[in-house]
Amino acid sequence: MEEELIRRSEPESLVSVTVARFMSTLLSARPKKLRESISRLTPDSQKGVSGSIDEALWFLEKCVIDAAERDEAMSEILVPIIEHTLRFKDSKHGNPAMILLNWLFQDEVLFQAVSRNLSNIILRNEDRFLALGWCLLIRRLVECEDTGDQGFWHGIREKHSMFVEIVSSCVPHLLMIVRNGSILQDGYEVPSRLSLSAADCLLSITGALAKRDNTLINRPKSPTITGSHQPVALTPNISEKKKKPTSLPEDSNIETNCILWNHMEDLTRLVQCLFAWNRKTRLLHAKGLSQVLKWLEELKEHHGGSQKEAGTEVSMGGALLLSSCWKHYSVLLHMEDQKFSKISKELLEQYLSGIKYYSESYPQGCSDTKNGGIETQKFFLNCLCLLLGRFEGKKFESILSEYGMKLVPILLHQLRSNNEEISEGVVAIFKAVFFKLQSQSGDSFSDTMCMDVVIPSLLHLLDERDGAAKAVSVLLADYCSKNAGNSCLSEILQRLASGTTVQRLNSLDVISEVILMSKDSFPSHIPWKEIADCLLKCLDDEETCICKQTSELLKSIEPSFVLPNLVNLIYAPNGKVQSSATETLLGVLKHHKEDFDVICMLLTSLSNIQALDTAESNGHSTEGIWLLISLP
């Protein structure tokens, strides 16, 4: 009998062959038939017909029980399950491997034995393909709680919390796989297939730990991004330390309630790797990752990050914050996620609602803005960066088409918060929107979204001199430097020429940023002559600060766009203009003193003016020009 073979020590090869044969029978079975056979199985069941699924199940159960009692490894059982998962990685949750594990998990003793043996396999085996299959299988088991079909998967669901705690011991090893799996390509880190799967598996495990810790810590109901939008502080406040500390039930174990907190360093290093992988191809997502990394570091600084401090008043507050936010972040950070397309719109709605709620509930000047409003707005905005940063191509355009009219006003309102981090996040999102829409150039929706909705709204913010205008200046400059052919730059120049003092100052800031972004190449698609002519008119501005800034900007522009008209202004009858032009010309010559072509250009311009009307030229001014030429 096969039962006797299990208990013999000598004919190991025969046992292995038998186990392999029965595992092959079970893993190749159709899911429906396998479920039916499991439902018929009872403690008193007979072995069944030779070669049948019933016989294979009976043998597997005896084999697992025997290994559990002897505390022996189950590699011959679990490795085929892992290999099957890798071979059929695109199949749904109804595959034989998951069905078998769900069945084994229903027994407490077998669950403990199988789970710990699963954890040991990744820790003791260096086979990369086995490790890849392991990551896929564990992620599938951890995420099974979030799937439908509540009835059949009760074995996995009932043991889910304990299973997550058991496999959390593999987090450091998974992180090692993640960190050692990158390759350099054109100066950027690119993940291997294994390191990518290990990162996603790690995110699933820690995300499940975050949900688990939230339910174990004795506190008010955890904040969510739905319903009443209770506060979720992205950055801890030192003042929180003075509040009544969050406590645990008297009979609870502090260490087991702070598992995620004890992996703080692992989370930080994971986010560092994710940032390195995304910083070239997914800029907006990388921006969100950099903010998550900053938040983790601040959280550790304020609440202490060592395991020795776990359970103290300070670290319990940190554990609460970490679990509250990480359960959201872990969903958004996945490199690969088949469920993402199904939940992305719901998440977007939630984040937009959260941002809107907190910006309206905690206006500027409110004493609770720092504690309850700004930090939570930063959290939701960062989630928005991470979410939008994952959309590609047509999917991004589809999201903008559906949510653009709601997204733009909410983001513009955030610019008025005068919070630097919020402004940077909003600017990053708008830059991504511009970049994506530029790739759809010529598309009627893209043109309408930019020119009829986004750009007019941003220009309107240049009517005031505040933090929002400062952020928008950089954003519009970036847009104009890449899209100089449209009406945006013309509108900026018109405001510079004839707007109010505030409009002129803000418009000058935009032009200054355009020059700064382009000064090394002066790309031909930007109308530099038009910009230079507009700036030259500003030398006569009634605001001294505008005249001075204009003079500095003219020195930075390619001389061929500036010198001819600048020389004309030297002869202007207006003394103020003549003085400003002379000072600017002096600066241009000093800036390009080693460029002989600039001197030739100046001489040519001067000769042209004298040839046109020598009689009207002012000898004093001409003498001044020749004095400038003689400068070293």
Tokens of 86: 């890798």
| pLDDT tier, 14 (very low <50, low <70, confident <90, very high otherwise) | low
Q: Is 23 exposed, middle or buried (0-12, 13-18, 19+ CB in 10 A)?
A: buried
Instruction: Point out which residues pair with 190 in neighbouring strands.
Output: 183
Q: Confirm if 412 and 363 have CB atoms less than 8 A apart.
A: no
50 and 180 assigned to the same domain: no
Q: Which residues contact 254 (CB under 8 A, 6 or more apart)?
A: 248, 310, 311
Residue 472's closest CA among 488, 486, 483, 494?
488
The SS3 call for residue 182 is strand
DSSP output for 567-583: HHHHT-S-HHHHHHHHH
25 and 84 assigned to the same domain: yes
Tokens of 494: 């018109």
Place of tokens 């969510």: 224
Cβ atoms < 10 Å from Cβ of 343: 14
Query: What percent of the chain shows pLDDT beyond 70?
Result: 77
Q: What values do phi and psi take at 388, rounded to 5? A: -65, -30
The SS3 call for residue 459 is helix
Residue 83 confidence (pLDDT) above 70: yes
Q: What values do phi and psi take at 191, rounded to 5? A: -80, 150
**Residue 15 covered by a domain:** yes
Q: How far apart are CA 115 and CA 111, in angstroms?
A: 6
| pLDDT tier, 160 (very low <50, low <70, confident <90, very high otherwise) | very high
Q: What is the largest CA-CA distance in the chain?
A: 123
Domain boundary residue among 337, 372, 397? 337
Place of tokens 């199985």: 41
Residue-range definition of the domain harbouring residue 314: 168-238+252-337
71 and 116 assigned to the same domain: yes
Residue range 63-68: mean pLDDT, rounded = 93
Place of tokens 């034995």: 113
Place of tokens 């004493």: 367
Cβ atoms < 10 Å from Cβ of 461: 20
Supply the pLDDT for residue 615.
47
Tokens of 255: 């260490």
**Residue 600 covered by a domain:** no
Cβ atoms < 10 Å from Cβ of 21: 12
186 and 328 assigned to the same domain: yes
Supply the pLDDT for residue 372.
59
**Residue 71 covered by a domain:** yes
Q: How far apart are CA 80 and CA 85, in angstroms?
A: 9
Instruction: Point out which residues pair with 587 in neighbouring strands.
Output: none
Residue range 62-70: mean pLDDT, rounded = 92
Residue 245 confidence (pLDDT) above 80: no
Statement: the pTM of the whole predicted model exceeds 0.85: no
Q: Give Cα 553 distance to the centre of its chain.
A: 36
**Residue 563 covered by a domain:** no
Residue range 441-462: mean pLDDT, rounded = 74
Q: Are strands 182-185 and 188-191 parallel, antiparallel or unpaired?
A: antiparallel
Place of tokens 């609440």: 303
Residue 433 confidence (pLDDT) above 50: yes
26 and 86 assigned to the same domain: yes
**Residue 103 covered by a domain:** yes
Encoded amino acid at 148, one letter:
G
Highest mean pLDDT out of 15-19, 87-91, 166-170, 610-614: 166-170
**Residue bearing the bigger pLDDT, 594 or 254:** 594
Residue 65 confidence (pLDDT) above 50: yes
Domain boundary residue among 300, 319, 337? 337
Residue range 56-82: mean pLDDT, rounded = 93
Supply the pLDDT for residue 220.
44
DSSP output for 24-75: HHHHTS-HHHHHHHHHH--TT----STTSHHHHHHHHHHHHHHHHHHT---H
Q: Confirm if 539 and 580 have CB atoms less than 8 A apart.
A: yes
The SS3 call for residue 160 is helix
* Residues 537, 540, 546, 548, Cα dihedral to 10°: 100
**Residue bearing the bigger pLDDT, 536 or 305:** 536
Q: What is the pLDDT of residues 342-395, one digit of tens each?
A: 899 999 999 999 999 988 886 654 544 455 578 899 999 999 999 999 998 788
222 and 268 assigned to the same domain: yes
179 and 152 assigned to the same domain: no
Supply the pLDDT for residue 305.
47
Q: What is the pLDDT of residues 485-512, one digit of tens each?
A: 678 899 999 999 998 999 999 999 999 9
Cβ atoms < 10 Å from Cβ of 391: 22
Supply the pLDDT for residue 392.
84
Residue range 226-254: mean pLDDT, rounded = 39
Q: How far apart are CA 159 and CA 201, in angstroms?
A: 18
Q: Confirm if 323 and 223 have CB atoms less than 8 A apart.
A: no
104 and 1 assigned to the same domain: yes
Supply the pLDDT for residue 446.
59
97 and 32 assigned to the same domain: yes
Supply the pLDDT for residue 441.
56
149 and 10 assigned to the same domain: yes
Residue 508's closest CA among 494, 525, 523, 528?
494
| pLDDT tier, 5 (very low <50, low <70, confident <90, very high otherwise) | very low
Supply the pLDDT for residue 113.
95
- What is the total count of domains within the chain? 2
Instruction: Point out which residues pair with 185 in neighbouring strands.
Output: 188
**Residue 362 covered by a domain:** no
Residue 330 confidence (pLDDT) above 90: yes
Encoded amino acid at 560, one letter:
S
Lowest mean pLDDT of 162-166, 322-326, 450-454, 463-467, name the range: 450-454
Supply the pLDDT for residue 605.
76
**Residue 315 covered by a domain:** yes
Residue 624 confidence (pLDDT) above 50: no
Q: Which residues contact 495 (CB under 8 A, 6 or more apart)?
A: 459, 462, 503, 504, 506, 507
Supply the pLDDT for residue 236.
41
Instruction: Point out which residues pair with 182 in neighbouring strands.
Output: 191
Place of tokens 């060592």: 306
**Residue 368 covered by a domain:** no
Residue 218 confidence (pLDDT) above 70: no
187 and 222 assigned to the same domain: yes
Instruction: Point out which residues pair with 398 in neighbouring strands.
Output: none
| pLDDT tier, 225 (very low <50, low <70, confident <90, very high otherwise) | very low
30 and 56 assigned to the same domain: yes
**Residue bearing the bigger pLDDT, 24 or 4:** 24
Residue range 450-460: mean pLDDT, rounded = 82
Alpha-carbon dihedral sign for residues 341, 343, 345, 348? negative
Q: How far apart are CA 295 and CA 216, in angstroms?
A: 23
Domain boundary residue among 321, 337, 353? 337
Query: What percent of the chain shows pLDDT beyond 90?
Result: 43
Residue 43 confidence (pLDDT) above 70: no
Residue 279 confidence (pLDDT) above 80: yes
Q: What is the mean pLDDT of the chain?
A: 81
Q: What is the pLDDT of residues 572-620, one digit of tens each?
A: 777 888 888 888 888 888 887 777 788 888 788 777 776 665 545 454 4
